[in-house]
Amino acid sequence: MSADIAHELIREVEEEHPDAWTRARVRILLALGPLTSLAGIAWAVLQPWRLTLLHPHAQGLYWLLAEPPLYVVLVGILFRLVLAPGIVADLEEPG
Amino acid sequence: MIVAGLEPRAEFVHWWFATGFLILGLLLLSEALVGPEIWGRRPWRRYLWPGFMFAMGVLMWPVSTFFTNSTIHMVAHGMWAQVLMLAGAAELGVARGKLHSQYWRLTSALGLAASGAALLLHEQNHWLFARAAFLHHTLGWTVLVAAVFPLAQALRPRSLTASLGFATTFVVIAVLLYCDRDVAPIFGHLSFYAGVPHR
């Protein structure tokens, strides 16, 4: 068996069965965004008065802009949709 | 006075910056998990967190300029603006390939150490005076101790513990800043001199 064929076989095996560490990293990367959003949702449930959009009457502009639980949810969603897929694709792609 | 009328409450600004630190933390966590080689496969990604850190430094200047209720607060915010810009600019230089030494990460260590010291020095009330005082003390010690992570990265750039610690520091900063309120009790304590609490 030539070195090229052996190398190709190893590469195929690696592609089909990425090692446990890579799989774990992929899972963590894909979970980071949802976990962040979940933390924001939990905050919103625990302190609903922080979301002035739920009761916007007579709120000032800054109180309407400052929705910290929503910020956390949005950061998680954006990370999961915009960044995580590309990072995971690069991680799974053999070097 | 017009500016004072338009100024957002300090807690709002802290929450906006908390969001910035949360984004920084997530970016750094991702880079720590995949390593700099995979992180850098898409060139734009290399500039992401250093650029973000630099931009946060720039945005800290208006805070320093407009929130002038005390000189020491103004000086502390000005200093945070400078160290954020310094660390961000150094990392941008490394990402661009203009700077090569691993020791540029020391700018982040310097930034965290100086920020921690400034937080501790500019809080003149005791821990349980009010929530803001408690958070200043907690943030100060957290950031001061966390300076060890970028220091370790400068010495051992491939250390996973150091890079995860550095990333986690920003997530912790974000959580602590989200906890900030202008006037609120901490563990049931609120000094009579702190003012009237609101929601």
Is A77 in the B-facing interface, judged by CB distances under 8 Å?
Answer: no
| Model confidence at B112: pLDDT above 60 | yes
B56 within domain boundaries: yes
| Model confidence at B2: pLDDT above 50 | no
Return the residue of B nearest to A49 by Cα.
B199
Task: Indicate the residue of A28, A36, A86 with minimum beta-carbon distance to B33.
Answer: A28
B198 within domain boundaries: no
Write out pLDDT tens, residues B21-65: 999 999 999 999 999 999 999 999 999 999 999 999 999 999 999
Q: Residues B77-101: what's their mean pLDDT?
A: 96
Nearest to B29 by CA among B148, B164, B158, B159: B164
- Name the percent of chain A lying above pLDDT 70: 80
What pLDDT, on the 0 to 100 scale, is given for residue B1? 42
For residue B54, the enclosing domain spans: 8-192
Return the residue of A nearest to B178 by Cα.
A68
Q: What residues of A are in contact with residue B38 (Cβ under 8 Å)? A: 87, 90-91, 95
What pLDDT, on the 0 to 100 scale, is given for residue A56? 87
| Model confidence at A76: pLDDT above 70 | yes
Given pLDDT bands bounded at 50, 70 and 90, which one contains residue A43? very high
Instruction: Give the total number of structural domains in chain B.
Output: 1
B3 within domain boundaries: no
- Assign 3-class secondary structure to chain A: CCHHHHHHHHHHHHHHCCCHHHHHHHHHHHHHHHHHHHHHHHHHHHCHHHCHHHCCCCCCHHHHHCCHHHHHHHHHHHHHHHHHHHHHHHHHCCC
B44 within domain boundaries: yes
B140 within domain boundaries: yes
Task: Indicate the residue of B22, B27, B34 with minimum beta-carbon distance to A25.
Answer: B34
